[in-house]
């Protein structure tokens, strides 16, 4: 005779078999008869019937196996809340641990120092998931950043610029310079596990520079050059910007020294009815929407066939920027970053 292994049945299957055993018992069948009908061994039949008489219908449903919820944890609920708040609110170096970022090893070390409990890295991974914490690459911030100055610019100075632009019917441009090399910022691609792709690259380093300006309406102006930025190049770009703008331009530009030079300042004074320069706080690139254009540019230049010389770099820069000029929605997308939500 073939017997049923109740361990291989799911909850509904077990309930069905138990219900059948109880029903046959109530009909007066013996253990031997029930065994032949159901395929359940007599000792199991006896256990099912005894449990039914003691607990009633509740005995028909299988009980959940495994340990109880939250049992076996090393940390109490209060300790978990304290540790989570520490990770969110403080850096390791503030607690006499090395580094600025929390790793599983440092969290484990902190738990030992404070609570004298050893929690394995594998267990900590479960705690992180439960606490809603993920391992992330940090956003870099310059040491020289003046947070108060940045907040003042975003909350007071820029709104004043925007109000003036509305009164004077001016366009607000955000400008920045960037350099594109033939030996950096390669795109990622799939490869066999453990075998890193090795693209061929030129041994001679070539670099092309670009200055650009964008508006939140999607307008793009740019100029490509190979020399280091100087007052002559700065003026060349400003003249082009004025010539191509139908309205007065308010240009918010980085604090590069050449933009404060005597020649540039004198020219701006003569053309103050056509263009004005404003300077955001230093060391705050994330507050400038044009920085996100620079990032997108470098990704595009180093995708597909890699540029080998200045001619290739220049061609790919022009190709990307011309596409942007015909797709204003891509330009306006740079203004949707959280860091520039004040614009």
Q: What pLDDT was estimated at residue 12?
A: 86
171-181/207-214 β-pairing: antiparallel
Q: Within 13 Å and on the Cβ side, how many CA atoms surround 187?
A: 14
Q: What pLDDT was estimated at residue 71?
A: 66
Question: Tens-of-pLDDT digits for all 343 residues of the chain?
Answer: 688 888 788 888 888 888 988 888 888 888 888 888 888 888 888 888 898 888 888 888 887 766 676 666 788 889 999 999 999 999 898 888 888 899 999 999 999 999 999 988 888 998 999 999 998 887 776 667 788 999 999 999 999 999 999 999 999 999 999 999 887 756 677 778 888 877 777 778 889 999 999 999 999 999 999 999 999 999 999 999 999 998 999 999 998 899 999 999 999 999 999 999 999 998 888 899 999 999 999 988 988 778 888 999 999 999 999 999 999 999 999 999 998 989 8
Q: What pLDDT was estimated at residue 168?
A: 94
The three-state DSSP-derived secondary structure of 200-246 is CCCCCCCEEEEEEEECCCCCEEEEEECCCCCHHHHHHHHHHHHHHCC
Nearest CA to 117 among 79, 71, 69, 78? 79
177 forms bridges with which residues in the sheet? 211
Torsion of CA 114, 117, 121, 122, to 10 degrees: -140
Q: What pLDDT was estimated at residue 70?
A: 66
Q: What pLDDT was estimated at residue 64?
A: 74
Q: What pLDDT was estimated at residue 187?
A: 66
- pTM assigned to the model: 0.65
Give the Cα-Cα-Cα angle 252, 142, 262 (nearest 5 degrees): 40
Q: What pLDDT was estimated at residue 18?
A: 87
CB distance 86 to 110 below 8 Å: yes
Q: What pLDDT was estimated at residue 226?
A: 93
């Amino acid at each position: 005779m073939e017997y049923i292994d109740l361990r291989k049945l799911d909850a509904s299957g077990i309930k069905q078999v138990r219900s059948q055993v109880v029903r046959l018992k109530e009909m007066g069948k013996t253990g031997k008869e029930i065994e032949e009908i159901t395929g359940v061994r007599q000792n199991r039949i006896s256990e099912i019937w005894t449990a039914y008489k003691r607990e009633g219908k509740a005995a028909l449903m299988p009980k959940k196996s495994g340990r109880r919820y939250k049992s076996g944890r090393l940390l109490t609920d209060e300790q978990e809340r304290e540790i989570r708040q520490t990770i969110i609110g403080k850096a390791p170096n503030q607690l006499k641990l090395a580094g600025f970022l929390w790793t599983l090893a440092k969290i484990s070390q902190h738990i030992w120092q404070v609570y004298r409990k050893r929690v394995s890295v594998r267990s900590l991974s479960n705690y992180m998931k439960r606490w809603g914490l993920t391992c992330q690459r940090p956003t870099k911030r310059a040491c020289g950043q003046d947070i108060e100055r940045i907040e003042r610019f975003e909350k007071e100075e820029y709104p004043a610029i925007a109000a003036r632009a509305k009164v004077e019917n001016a366009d607000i441009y955000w400008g920045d310079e960037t350099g594109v090399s033939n030996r950096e910022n390669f795109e990622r691609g799939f490869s066999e596990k453990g075998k890193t792709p090795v693209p061929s690259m030129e041994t001679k380093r070539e670099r092309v520079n670009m200055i650009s300006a964008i508006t939140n309406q999607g307008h793009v102006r740019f100029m490509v050059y190979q020399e280091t930025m100087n007052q002559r190049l700065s003026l060349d770009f400003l003249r082009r910007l004025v010539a191509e703008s139908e309205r007065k331009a308010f240009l918010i530009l980085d604090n590069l020294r050449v933009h404060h030079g005597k020649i540039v300042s004198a020219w701006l004074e003569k053309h103050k009815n056509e263009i004005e320069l404003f300077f955001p706080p230093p060391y705050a690139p994330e507050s400038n929407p044009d920085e996100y254009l620079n990032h997108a540019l470098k990704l595009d230049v180093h995708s597909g066939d890699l540029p080998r010389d200045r001619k290739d770099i220049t061609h790919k820069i022009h190709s990307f920027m011309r596409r942007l000029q015909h797709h204003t929605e891509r330009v306006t997308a740079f203004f949707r970053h959280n860091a520039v939500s004040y614009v």
